[in-house]
Structure 1
Amino acid sequence: MPKIKILNFYPVFYVAGFIIVLTEFILHIHGKSICTTQGCRIVESFVKGGDLILLISGLALFITLIFVSLYKFPPKIQPLIEYFHSGILILALSVEGYLLGFQSFVVREFCIFCITVFGIILLSCLFRLIRKRFEIIYAFSCFISIFLITYFVNPEIGQIPSSQYVLIYSKECQHCEEVIQFCKTHSISVQAIEAKEITGALRTLKIQHVPVLFCDEGATKKFIIGQDNIKEYLLSNISQKDIQEGFCPIFEKEKCQ
């Protein structure tokens, strides 16, 4: 009797996973999401074809698992189906190893939706192990191996420093150099960071050109793109005190004493 109860948990988990992925799929079509964390958007930005590819793959995964766990196969091929069942879970948990490692060690942001799906697959594998399907041990081995690989070998996405003004530049960019010199001339405190150090973050924000000025105004965060736009923004934020003390904005000479 306990054996049957454990076996019956399989379709329950798979149906739950299917419903979660289907809900996310429908919301995605309408421009919404179950997950509102930055991690979800970053993971999506690195998937070829976007989040839709992952969602379709998830739907296919759970539909297949539901079919395999509920359909009454002939006794002759049932042992082969059991190995096929385990093989799907091994592949799924291996993929989750990469996704979870990517979020843990690369972007350092977590996708709630991804973690939920991972939890369902992990529980399914544990119940598979309880049912003495020992081949499922490969799933845990693959998961741990791939998870650790993302720790030792991963592209650095980088984070934008915490500062009022952060200038993102490239050494090969003449416009960037002009903005840097402009800030030096006007004694504007700006923290500079090379674009290659935060390539992933820029890609996520769909920013393809530098210079870029990140402005932290408390409750408001802004990205100013382009040499002229950055100069204009910085000049517009120069305090009247600076002007009174002799600071002369080069584009507003009429305000100088």
Structure 2
Amino acid sequence: MKLKSLTGVIYLSLLACVIIIAQALLIVFRGEAFCVNEGCRIVEALTLVPPFYFNLLGAAYFFAIFCVAITTKYRSGTEPLLRIVLISGLAAEGILLGYQTFVANAFCSYCLLIFLLVIILNSFMGLRQLTLGLVTVVAQLVMFSLLNFDAAKDPLRGLTLDNGTYAVRRCSDPIKQLYLIFSEDCPHCYKVIEALEGCTRCEFHFNPIKGISADLLPGLSPNENFLPEINIAALKILGVDTVPVLIAKDHDGLTFIQGDRNIINYILNTCFREMPLLDGNLEDPFETEGGACSIR
């Protein structure tokens, strides 16, 4: 290996180490890292390791390169180790580049600078080393492109309340579809379920927030593949942290009713009569006092 190339590795790795340490100090004293675009913040928000420790890890990596390069300069036999350390860094940067491209959908300018420094360091080791490293990065990017990260971001995408239904009580010629989000542990939910016996004008979907005993809904065919996570997600979207909650679906849209008394009044008014009453028996649809159980 040429002495000039090895000297380049020594000085560039030291420069990279200084840059990263400076970035870490900025995080300590300013509370945020320096970046010329918003991509850094987006990427940082998606990582489990805080940016400060990420930078310390990077500084340790470049310092290791510096030490191995110094050793290689004055003692033979450590060049293979230096090559392995450099190619490993390029492989790691390839993963980070793929993450930015296909997961974060944003590029961190600071991260790209570090990626460039690692490429240059590998180029000092010769064309063969650089080619091997770039082929590794390209292979990683190709694999990233073949993966679907949308499902990981939102595993419930494309699913509806029907996928969260444990069982359905069907009525002849129903005028509405009703979804009851409930918990087996909630006594207020039992009151609503008892009120549904004999319903003749509504199709009732039972959507528990977790698995339930088959004895709770006798005579109904359970859907063992139901997803209670959908029902929990629906409550979160509504900003509700109690059950029972009734979601009424008809041609006009959706109606949300919370609390056992409100739900029972709605059912009596809608599902047990030829025409719904309009005398205001339904209380505030989001009243919870005395008629709901917290799910927290």
TM-score bucket (shorter structure): 0.5 to 0.7
Matched, 1:118 2:123: no
1:18-33 to 2 correspondences below 5 Å: 18-30=17-29, 31-33=31-33
Matched, 1:141 2:141: no
Provide TM-score, normalisation by structure 2.
Answer: 0.48
Question: Which SS does the other structure have where 1:100 is aligned?
Answer: helix
Cα drift, residue 42 of structure 1: 2.7
Cα drift, residue 121 of structure 1: 0.3
Q: Which residue of 2 aligns with 1:100?
A: 97
Contact 1:39–1:109 (8 Å) recurs in 2: yes
* Aligned positions, number: 170
Deviation string 1:114-142 (CA, Å, 9 cap, x unpaired) is 00100000011112115xxx355432222
Aligned partner of 2:237 among 204, 211, 214: 211
Deviation string 1:145-171 (CA, Å, 9 cap, x unpaired) is 112212211413999xxxxxxxxxx95
Q: Which residue of 1 aligns with 2:88?
A: 91
Deviation string 1:213-255 (CA, Å, 9 cap, x unpaired) is xxxxxxxxxxxxx47xxxxxxxxxxxxxxxxxxxxxxx9xxxx
- State the alpha-carbon separation in 2 of the partners of residues 156 and 28 from structure 1: 31
- State the alpha-carbon separation in 2 of the partners of residues 111 and 53 from structure 1: 17
Q: Which residue of 2 aligns with 1:156?
A: 150
Question: Which SS does the other structure have where 2:88 is aligned?
Answer: helix
Unaligned runs of 5+ in 1: 160-169, 178-208, 213-225, 228-250, 252-257
Task: Name the CA shift for 1:126/1:73 in 2 (closer, same or farther; >3 Å).
Answer: closer
- State the alpha-carbon separation in 2 of the partners of residues 16 and 74 from structure 1: 21
- State the alpha-carbon separation in 1 of the partners of residues 19 and 151 from structure 2: 29
Question: Which SS does the other structure have where 1:35 is aligned?
Answer: coil
- State the alpha-carbon separation in 2 of the partners of residues 12 and 156 from structure 1: 42
Q: Which residue of 2 aligns with 1:56?
A: 56
- State the alpha-carbon separation in 1 of the partners of residues 9 and 40 from structure 2: 27
Task: Name the CA shift for 1:83/1:111 in 2 (closer, same or farther; >3 Å).
Answer: same
Contact 1:25–1:52 (8 Å) recurs in 2: yes
Contact 1:86–1:136 (8 Å) recurs in 2: no
Superposed CA RMSD in Å reads: 3.6
Contact 1:103–1:109 (8 Å) recurs in 2: yes
- State the alpha-carbon separation in 2 of the partners of residues 48 and 74 from structure 1: 40
Contact 2:3–2:73 (8 Å) recurs in 1: no
- State the alpha-carbon separation in 2 of the partners of residues 74 and 52 from structure 1: 33
Contact 2:10–2:70 (8 Å) recurs in 1: yes
Which piece of structure 1 moves more, 148-157 or 108-117?
148-157
Cα drift, residue 9 of structure 1: 1.2
Q: Which residue of 1 aligns with 2:293?
A: none
Cα drift, residue 73 of structure 1: 6.5
Which piece of structure 1 moves more, 45-54 or 142-151?
45-54
Unaligned runs of 5+ in 2: 154-158, 165-178, 180-234, 241-283, 285-296
Contact 1:107–1:157 (8 Å) recurs in 2: no
Q: Which residue of 1 aligns with 2:291?
A: none
Q: Which residue of 2 aligns with 1:10?
A: 9
Identical counterparts, % of pairs? 22
Task: Name the CA shift for 1:49/1:85 in 2 (closer, same or farther; >3 Å).
Answer: same
Question: Which SS does the other structure have where 2:66 is aligned?
Answer: helix
Aligned-partner residue type, residue 124 of structure 1: L
Aligned-partner residue type, residue 147 of structure 2: V
Cα drift, residue 66 of structure 1: 0.8
- Structure with the greater alpha carbon radius of gyration: 2
- State the alpha-carbon separation in 2 of the partners of residues 86 and 124 from structure 1: 10
Contact 1:97–1:146 (8 Å) recurs in 2: yes
Q: Which residue of 1 aligns with 2:47?
A: 47
Q: Which residue of 1 aligns with 2:35?
A: 35
